[in-house]
Structures are given as structure tokens and as C-alpha cells.
Amino acid sequence: MPQVMIVTLEKELPEAWAAYSKTKSGKALARETDRIDGAARRRSVTALTALLSENPAVLAAQMQAEGFDPTKMRLPAEQWFAASDGLKTVRALIEHITANLNDFKLPNPILKDLKAIEALLVSAVTAGVRFHMTKATV
């Protein structure tokens, strides 16, 4: 099953979320995570995977579906990050990937996902809403 990497907001922003939902898929980000994180290191910004977090209830449900007993494990608390920090990372990645298209298998879908995230995070910064990245299976 393919994975996706998407944005989760701490509070709802319906208009921004609707626009983001129309354009993002997150598949390209999940597929090339290592290369994207390498680009973040070269640009001296936080890697997308460092911005990953999960709702403990969702994580427990996933673990239970896979046959694990989440009550016997200590699940990490959900972490939230400043949208301005994510925006700095996303913009640096857009710039780097645009300048180094040949370093990525499918740069255009990655750029499309990053630009969708950028628009959502701009709205989140304005509204003072924190975020985190989430990996999910589709």
C-alpha cells in the first residue's frame, strides 16, 4: 500500500484546507523522503521527517489493526510545530528542488505537493495555527 505525507493542523482552517485538499496528494513526498531530507540538510533547514507526529489515538488504532496491543506500549505525545518553521523548510525545499530537478525521480509532483503545503502554512501562520506532518497509508 502506498504511503502519503500530509499536513495536519492543530485547528481547522476550512477554506485553506479545502484548497490544500484539492491539490495535494503527498505520495511524491513519501516516496522520496530520503532525498527531500537530504535537500533540507543541504539548505540547513529542518527536515520534513523531523516535523512528523501522530495523534496517539490514531496511532493506537493503527497498531491495533496490525495486531499489536497499544496498551502495552508507551505511545509518544502528539507534537505541534510553528507553521512559520514549516514554511521556512518548505520554501527552501521548493527553491532547492527547482534548482536541482535532476536529483529527484519525479520533481514535479514533489513541487506540486510542496506548493500546496506552502499555501496551507501561509494561512496557518496568519491564523496562528500550529501543524505537523503525518504519514499515512492509502
Residues 8-25 pLDDT 10s: 999 999 999 888 888 768
79-105: pLDDT as tens digits: 999 999 999 999 999 999 999 999 999
23-66: pLDDT as tens digits: 768 899 999 999 999 999 999 999 999 999 988 888 778 778 88
pLDDT given at position 115: 95
pLDDT given at position 74: 82
Q: How far apart are CA 117 and CA 62, in angstroms?
A: 25
Dig out the grid coordinates for 56 from the structure: 496517539
Give me the torsion for CA of 3, 17, 80, 119, rounded to 10°. Answer: 90
Q: How far apart are the first and last CA of the chain?
A: 6
Q: How far apart are CA 27 and CA 135, in angstroms?
A: 10
- pTM for the whole structure: 0.88
pLDDT given at position 1: 58
At 107, which amino acid appears?
P
pLDDT given at position 66: 80
- Decide: residue 34, CB within 10 A, 0-12 exposed, 13-18 middle, 19+ buried: exposed
- Decide: residue 30, CB within 10 A, 0-12 exposed, 13-18 middle, 19+ buried: buried
pLDDT given at position 71: 80
Could you give phi then psi for residue 13, rounded to 5 degrees?
Answer: -130, 85
Q: How far apart are CA 21 and CA 91, in angstroms?
A: 19
Question: Considering the chain, what percentage of its residues have pLDDT values greater than 70?
Answer: 98
